[in-house]
């Protein structure tokens, strides 16, 4: 369903700024250990009566009985936090989506809504590894992939932004056809991997997630890829074409039409209300098979080719070496035949 991109440009690893040692906070709840559907592990034991407000999630602290060390907060919303963390048991980095649950919602209900993402495979969604509840928070653990936030990715061609987002948009459309939602409710959930493909880095579907919210999130993500401007909500965003003259009007209209509500849409502005309409809008400006640009933070902003080309800089050297080897072999055979 998702297509691999042709870009092989290497990306610098995200730098983690050293921080002063912070107090270690270890909840007293046993770690998750009950097998559930899909091979995931989820705790069914009640959380300890420790109000979430009595301890904070801060970089450097341990979380979930010391299982995860929090490394970097990657954004969030009023009730959700996105973290890069280190699994101290399996010795690998993971992505944590930590959601405060309460009222009419529960961790089990959130996990049930997230099961569709657990079953899907492809470049557009990080693999879900675990789900558990801890102190009034539902936690979804996903595979961490080397990647960049949308605002840190320089896109050489506007069509590359459309190609980068296409796999995720198609996944969202598939989920909606199955009656599920993906919760692309905030651009910080979406990151761009070293292959140039945008993916849902922080899965976890809260009760507030809706299909219309997914479409709006795709529009906000596309807007940030094109302009570098972080936009959240359904207020009318700045037209990407007005900020960047090389953006096609059709792509700019797709951003505005997917974000704004019917009431706030400008006169004559078609509203993109479904994920299938969004996918069709991307396809209209980005032909099938068009490669997306790989992230390049260090690219010269005045040199578009530095971010848009997919031809490796070492390719001429390899080609030249191969030609010399072929000529040397031919010369050897000629010399042997004359002896």
The residues, any chain, with a CB within 8 Å of residue 320's CB and separated by 6 or more, are none
What value, to the nearest 5°, has the Cα angle with vertex 70 and ends 171 and 164? 25
What was the pLDDT predicted at 224? Answer: 93
Identify whether the C-beta of residue 180 lies closer than 8 Å to the C-beta of residue 116: yes
What value, to the nearest 5°, has the Cα angle with vertex 74 and ends 70 and 78? 100
Closest to 98 (Cα-Cα) out of 66, 132, 125, 71:
132
Per-residue pLDDT of the chain (339 residues; tens, 9 = 90+): 444 444 444 444 433 333 344 343 333 333 444 444 344 444 433 333 334 443 478 999 998 989 999 999 999 888 899 999 999 999 999 999 999 987 778 899 999 999 999 999 889 999 999 999 988 899 999 999 999 999 898 888 999 999 999 999 999 999 999 999 999 988 899 999 999 999 999 999 999 999 999 999 999 999 999 998 888 876 777 889 999 999 999 999 999 999 987 655 665 667 898 999 999 999 998 765 454 555 544 344 344 433 333 333 334 444 555 555 556 655 555 454 544
The residues, any chain, with a CB within 8 Å of residue 307's CB and separated by 6 or more, are 154, 155, 156, 293, 294, 296, 299
What was the pLDDT predicted at 310? Answer: 36
Q: What is the pTM of this model?
A: 0.70
Identify whether the C-beta of residue 308 lies closer than 8 Å to the C-beta of residue 160: yes
What was the pLDDT predicted at 67? Answer: 94
d(CA 224, CA 244): 12
**Phi, psi dihedral angles at 294 (to 5 degrees):** -75, 150
Identify whether the C-beta of residue 8 lies closer than 8 Å to the C-beta of residue 310: yes
Closest to 202 (Cα-Cα) out of 136, 122, 139:
139
What was the pLDDT predicted at 260? Answer: 84
Identify whether the C-beta of residue 178 lies closer than 8 Å to the C-beta of residue 276: no
What was the pLDDT predicted at 77? Answer: 84
With H, G, I as helix, E, B as strand and everything else as coil, classify residue 146.
coil
């Amino acid at each position: 369903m998702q297509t691999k991109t042709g870009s092989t440009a290497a990306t610098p690893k995200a730098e983690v700024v050293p921080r002063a040692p912070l107090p270690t906070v270890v909840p007293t709840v046993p770690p998750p250990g009950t097998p559930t559907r899909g091979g995931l592990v989820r705790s069914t034991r009640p959380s300890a009566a420790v109000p979430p407000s009595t301890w904070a999630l801060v970089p450097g602290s341990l979380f979930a009985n010391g299982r995860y060390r929090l490394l970097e907060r990657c954004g969030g919303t009023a009730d959700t936090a996105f973290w890069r963390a280190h699994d101290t048991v399996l010795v690998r980095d993971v992505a944590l989506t930590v959601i405060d649950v309460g009222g009419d919602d529960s961790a089990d209900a959130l996990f049930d809504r997230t099961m569709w993402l657990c079953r899907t495979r492809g470049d557009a969604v990080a693999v879900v590894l675990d789900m558990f509840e801890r102190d009034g928070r539902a936690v979804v653990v996903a595979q961490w992939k080397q990647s960049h936030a949308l605002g840190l990715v320089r896109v050489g061609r506007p069509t590359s932004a459309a190609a980068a987002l296409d796999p995720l948009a198609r996944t969202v459309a598939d989920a909606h056809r199955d009656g599920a939602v993906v919760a692309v409710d905030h651009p910080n959930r979406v990151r761009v991997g070293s292959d140039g493909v945008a993916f849902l880095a922080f899965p976890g579907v809260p009760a507030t997630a809706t299909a219309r919210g997914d479409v709006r999130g795709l529009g906000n993500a596309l807007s940030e890829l094109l302009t570098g401007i972080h936009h959240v909500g359904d207020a009318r965003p700045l037209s990407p074409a007005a900020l960047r003259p090389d953006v096609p009007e059709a792509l700019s209209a797709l951003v505005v039409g997917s974000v704004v509500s019917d009431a706030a849409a400008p006169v004559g502005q078609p509203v993109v209300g479904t994920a299938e309409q969004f996918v069709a809008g991307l396809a209209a400006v980005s032909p099938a098979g068009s490669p997306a640009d790989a992230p390049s933070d260090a690219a010269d902003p005045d040199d578009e080719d530095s971010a848009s080309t997919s031809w490796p800089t070492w390719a001429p050297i390899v080609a030249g070496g191969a030609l010399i080897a072929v000529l040397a072999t031919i010369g050897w055979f000629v010399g042997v035949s004359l002896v």
